[in-house]
Structure 1
């Protein structure tokens, strides 16, 4: 099995260095240079995340807290912050380990291997299916939607509609197709109910995020916009 490691650091030189080293150690790597990009890459289901703390916009601690309930894999902080309180904060926000810069690549590799072995022994826990879209986290396993660390409440049918659209992001569907997929072929009613549910979903998402995720294609239908 080839393990996949997500490396998150705003310094591109650092992500490239770690990526090259870990690939030489037979790991698969994916890299992000900010928190938003890291959230999008969660869909690739990394087996371990290496996370810098000092990043612009959303720092590593905040990112860890936002994603911790949606990823089961180990999170290893790599940072220049060296006080005891910094280490405590990292662990309290959901990190599994903490290594300070400058560090030995051999030590980092050993810690990664140890966490992956421990996580492999713990595989009896269920895998979490997560889709992301522009800072929105849709947890398909828990049937929940989060923006940053706040949950956005949706009804069962609203979530079904969100799941269908985001799973088929950037594809356009007419109301009849959406109705058949979400309500079922044998449902009593008509596709006009789709319009009302889309309206409610949009209102909740816009209130929580200030963004529009569902686009109306006039004369055709709807699509989920994924950047």
Structure 2
């Protein structure tokens, strides 16, 4: 089955070039140049979205926050921004990958195929499992197990573990975690993140004393880390 891709970039030439290249590999590609067009396209189903960051009216970061609540497909950021904090911000709002401009079309195709293969694997129940250390996350049933025992978690605790574990070893500030797990429009307080992490650590410690999983990086935030795990 042909895969459908949406490219969102205010540079028409880039949109046209990407579309022309991917059509050679039997992808169906739609392109839009501004955020209102992009939002109108969300009534369609796409297998993958490519999103530029620097766009007029609403940048790609803000747009991703809206899109991520409406779609489950992979989102690949394409941007001329090369700083680490830009990449971390893009991942923290729901992006699945980040490619800097200028990029190789061969690399772009490889990244797209990698994400699409992963999505295909997830259609099989057994591939809905994300494991790290002694923790297993069942993203299909929204359940998390530690050493074979199901953790009793709140929705926010589940989402926080999943977010950090899917981006392991990347440090996220409390603000980034809050925006991703609670949402930018949440009426909760930032300190809720600290309390939530404290509760998660207690629940994991009971079942696995050897690993802390959520590591505090003083002055910067938190990251998911397991001893001797690559």
TM-score, L = length of structure 2:
0.54
* Residue segments in structure 2 that go unaligned for 5+ positions in a row: 126-139, 142-183, 187-230
Cα shift readout 1:90-126 (whole Å, capped 9, x = no counterpart):
1001000000000000000000000001011123659
Q: State how far apart, in whole Å, the 2-side matches of 1:90 and 1:150 are.
A: 18
Q: State how far apart, in whole Å, the 2-side matches of 1:102 and 1:14 are.
A: 10
Q: Secondary structure at the match of 1:45?
A: coil
For residue 45 of structure 1, what is the aligned residue in structure 2? 45
Cα shift readout 1:120-146 (whole Å, capped 9, x = no counterpart):
1123659xxxxxxxxxxxxxxxxxxxx
Contact 2:78 2:100 in 1 (8 A): yes
Cα shift readout 1:3-45 (whole Å, capped 9, x = no counterpart):
0000000010110000000111110000110111011111121
Q: What's the RMSD between the two structures over aligned residues?
A: 1.9
Q: State how far apart, in whole Å, the 1-side matches of 2:24 and 2:38 are.
A: 22
Contact 2:65 2:94 in 1 (8 A): yes
For residue 14 of structure 2, what is the aligned residue in structure 1? 14
Matched, 1:109 2:109: yes
Q: State how far apart, in whole Å, the 1-side matches of 2:18 and 2:185 are.
A: 32
Q: State how far apart, in whole Å, the 2-side matches of 1:7 and 1:25 are.
A: 16
Q: State how far apart, in whole Å, the 1-side matches of 2:85 and 2:91 are.
A: 10
Q: Secondary structure at the match of 1:70?
A: coil
Q: State the 1:150 CA deviation.
A: 5.7
Larger Rg: 1
Cα shift readout 1:201-227 (whole Å, capped 9, x = no counterpart):
xxxxxxxxxxxxxxxxxxxxxxxxxxx
Q: State the 1:67 CA deviation.
A: 1.4
Cα shift readout 1:137-195 (whole Å, capped 9, x = no counterpart):
xxxxxxxxxxxx769xxxxxxxxxxxxxxxxxxxxxxxxxxxxxxxxxxxxxxxxxxxx
* Residue segments in structure 1 that go unaligned for 5+ positions in a row: 127-148, 152-227
Q: Secondary structure at the match of 1:81?
A: coil
Q: State how far apart, in whole Å, the 1-side matches of 2:33 and 2:185 are.
A: 24
Q: Number of paired residues?
A: 130
Q: State how far apart, in whole Å, the 1-side matches of 2:82 and 2:96 are.
A: 16
Q: State how far apart, in whole Å, the 2-side matches of 1:46 and 1:12 are.
A: 20
Question: 1:1-227 alignment to 2 at 5 Å?
Answer: 1-123=1-123
Q: Secondary structure at the match of 1:46?
A: coil
Q: State how far apart, in whole Å, the 2-side matches of 1:109 and 1:9 are.
A: 17
Q: State how far apart, in whole Å, the 1-side matches of 2:103 and 2:114 are.
A: 17
